[in-house]
Amino acid sequence: MEPTQATAAVAISEHFATIADVDEAIRANAAIERIQSQGIPEYIAPRRLTAFEKPFFERSLELRQLIFMKHFYSESDAVTQIFQREHERNRIAAKSEKVPRKYLDSFRKTFRDLNDECNNAFGYKVRWFLDLGCAPGGFATWLLRNNKKARGTGITLSSGSGGLQFQLDAKLRERFWVYFDDVCRFAMGQAILGTPGRGFDLVLANASIMLGGDVVPWNQSVRLTHAQLLMAVQHLAPNGTLVMSLKARPLHWIVDIVEVLRDLFTSVVAVKPQSQARRSFVYMVCRGFRADVGSKGRYILRLRECLEYLNNITGPIDAPSGGTENIPRLHGVEGEALADESYQYVIGLFRNAWIRQYSAIRLHYESALQPSKPVDPELDSSTSEDVAAGSQ
Ligand SMILES: C[S@@+](CC[C@H](N)C(=O)[O-])C[C@H]1O[C@@H](n2cnc3c(N)ncnc32)[C@H](O)[C@@H]1O
C-alpha cells in the first residue's frame, strides 16, 4: 500500500489536530501490507517494541494499533500537559499529612469490576486469602465485605520503607493479619509466613513499586513479579485461585510466566477492569491450581534462580549479556523457539485487553485534543500512568 498524504508525517504527532487525524494515521501505519513493504518505522523505539515482540506485532492487528496509538499519544504536547498537571496533583496529595482514601476506594472498585467480569468468582466463597502488597487495602475491603466468613493475611511494605499506608477499616482488620515487610524476603525464605494447613484458596499478587515520580530499577520490579509468583506456587491450596497483575506485553519474560500459569492452572484469563483501562497491565485470573509435587518443586527452584539473577544483575534492561532476555527460563528449555501455537495463545489471551486499552487511550487523547470534551472520571483514575513512559 502506498503512503497517503495523511500518513506522510505521522511520526510528528503534535501535528494531529483531531482524533480523526490520529485514526487515519493508525489505520495507514498499522496495515500489515505497509509493515511488510516498508518495515517497522524507526520512531517505534525498541523500548516500545522489543525484538521478541516483533512476531506478535506482525501477527496481531490489535497489538499494532495499540503500539502506534501509544506512540502518538506519548508524543502529543496536549497529552504531556495533562500528565504534568496530574503528576503535580499526585505529588501534592502524597505530601499532604492526611492520606486520602481515594486510592483505597479506587482499588476496591477495581476489584468489584474484576469480580463482575469473572461472573462473581470472588463473592461468598472465599475462605482464606493471601494479599501481597495489600496497602491501601481496597481488594481486602471488597473481599472481607463480600465474604463474611473470609479471613485474610497480607504482606505490604511499611510506610517507613516507602510503602503505601494501610487503611483497612478497624472492623475488617479483626479478620485480617498484616506483615509489614518485603514480599521478596518471604519468597527467599528470609521471613516466615503463617499459613492455613491446606494453603490459601486465593492469592492476590498486586504488589508493585510505587515511588511517585522516581524511576524504579527494572530488575527490582521484574523481581517483585517473580517473587509473587513464587509465593503463589508455594502457598496456594489445591484448586486455588491466583489473581496476578502482569504487564500486557508479549515480552520474553512475560510470555515465560504466561506459559507457567497455563501449565499450573486449569483456566487462565486476562482481565482489564475499565477503571484501569489506560494502563499497560492486566489481571491474570488463574483458577484451578493443579501443580503436582514434582512440578511445584521444579518451579520453586527455577523461580529462586530468577530471583537470584534479578538481585545480582546490573546494567540496562536490554543489555545483550544481561537484561530481561537472559532471565533464566521458567518453562521449557533455554533457547527453545516459541511454538506457533504459543503465539496464537498469547495473542488470544491479551487481545481484549489491547482493544480496551486502545479505546481508553483514544478517548483520553480525544479529550486532550478537544478540552471541551470531558473524560469519564472512572476512566481517568490511574494513579501513575505508564503508557506514555512506554516502560518495559
Ligand atoms: C498497587 S498497590 C496494591 C493495592 C492493593 N491491592 C489494594 O487493593 O489496595 C501496591 C502495593 O505494593 C506495596 N509494595 C511494593 N513493593 C513491595 C514489596 N517488595 N513488598 C511488599 N509490598 C510491596 C506498595 O507499598 C503498595 O502498597
Backbone angles phi, psi at 127, to 5 degrees: -105, -55
DSSP state of 132: E
Mean pLDDT of 319-329: 86
Nearest atom of ligand 1 to the alpha carbon of 139: 8
Q: How far is the CA of 222 from the centre of ligand 1 (A)?
A: 14
Nearest atom of ligand 1 to the alpha carbon of 163: 25
Q: What does the pLDDT read at residue 92?
A: 73
Q: What does the pLDDT read at residue 7?
A: 45
100-336 maps to CATH 3.30.420.40: no
Pocket test for ligand 1, best of 104, 134, 142, 166 (most atoms within 8 A of CB): 134
Mean pLDDT of 5-17: 55
Q: How far is the CA of 130 from the centre of ligand 1 (A)?
A: 13
Supply the angle between the helices 77-95 and 340-369 in degrees, to the nearest 10.
90
pLDDT band at 94 (very low <50, low <70, confident <90, very high): low
- Cell matching residue 196: 492455613
C-beta of 157 in contact with ligand 1 (< 6 A): yes
Amino acid at 317: I
Residues above pLDDT 70, as percent of the chain: 88
Atom 13 (ligand 1) nearest CA: 133
pLDDT band at 337 (very low <50, low <70, confident <90, very high): confident
Atom 5 (ligand 1) nearest CA: 134
Q: What does the pLDDT read at residue 376?
A: 55
C-beta of 182 in contact with ligand 1 (< 6 A): yes
C-beta of 202 in contact with ligand 1 (< 6 A): no
Q: What does the pLDDT read at residue 255?
A: 97
Residue 5 clears pLDDT 50, i.e. is over it: no
Amino acid at 133: G
Q: Measuring CA to CA, how many Å separate 156 from each of 129, 184, 207, 222?
A: 14, 11, 8, 17
Q: What's the pLDDT tens digit per position in 193-236? A: 999 999 999 999 999 877 555 578 899 999 999 999 999 999 99
Peptide bond into 3 cis (omega under 30): no
Helix then strand then coil, in percent of the chain rounded to 5, is 50, 15, 40
Mean pLDDT of 127-152: 97
> Which residues make Cβ contacts (< 8 Å) with residue 66, sequence separation at least 6?
354, 357, 358, 361
Mean pLDDT of 255-268: 97
Atom 24 (ligand 1) nearest CA: 163
Q: What does the pLDDT read at residue 377?
A: 52
Mean pLDDT of 285-295: 96
C-beta of 187 in contact with ligand 1 (< 6 A): no
- Cell matching residue 343: 503465539
Nearest atom of ligand 1 to the alpha carbon of 104: 9
The C-alpha R_g of the chain, in whole angstroms, comes to 21
Strand partners, 179: 155
SS3 38: helix
C-beta of 168 in contact with ligand 1 (< 6 A): no
C-beta of 137 in contact with ligand 1 (< 6 A): yes
Residue 281 clears pLDDT 60, i.e. is over it: yes
Q: What does the pLDDT read at residue 308?
A: 95
C-beta of 164 in contact with ligand 1 (< 6 A): yes
Q: What does the pLDDT read at residue 361?
A: 97
CA 25 to chain centre: 27
pLDDT band at 88 (very low <50, low <70, confident <90, very high): confident
Mean pLDDT of 11-34: 86
C-beta of 134 in contact with ligand 1 (< 6 A): yes
Residue 388 clears pLDDT 50, i.e. is over it: no
Nearest atom of ligand 1 to the alpha carbon of 103: 9
Atom 16 (ligand 1) nearest CA: 209
Residue 384 clears pLDDT 90, i.e. is over it: no
Nearest atom of ligand 1 to the alpha carbon of 141: 8
Q: What does the pLDDT read at residue 195?
A: 93
Pocket test for ligand 1, best of 110, 209, 385 (most atoms within 8 A of CB): 209
> Which residues make Cβ contacts (< 8 Å) with residue 329, sequence separation at least 6?
256, 302, 336
DSSP state of 379: T
Domain residue limits, the chain: 100-336
C-beta of 183 in contact with ligand 1 (< 6 A): yes
Helix (H) or strand (E) holding 263: helix 252-264
C-beta of 139 in contact with ligand 1 (< 6 A): yes
Q: What does the pLDDT read at residue 52?
A: 93
Supply the angle between the helices 252-264 and 218-235 in degrees, to the nearest 10.
10
Residue 330 clears pLDDT 50, i.e. is over it: yes
Sheet containing strand 265-271, edge to edge, reads 176-180, 151-156, 128-132, 200-205, 236-247, 281-289, 265-271
pLDDT band at 48 (very low <50, low <70, confident <90, very high): confident
Q: How far is the CA of 209 from the centre of ligand 1 (A)?
A: 7
- pLDDT averaged over the chain? 88
Distance CA 357, CA 179 (A): 34
Mean pLDDT of 237-241: 97
Mean pLDDT of 20-41: 94
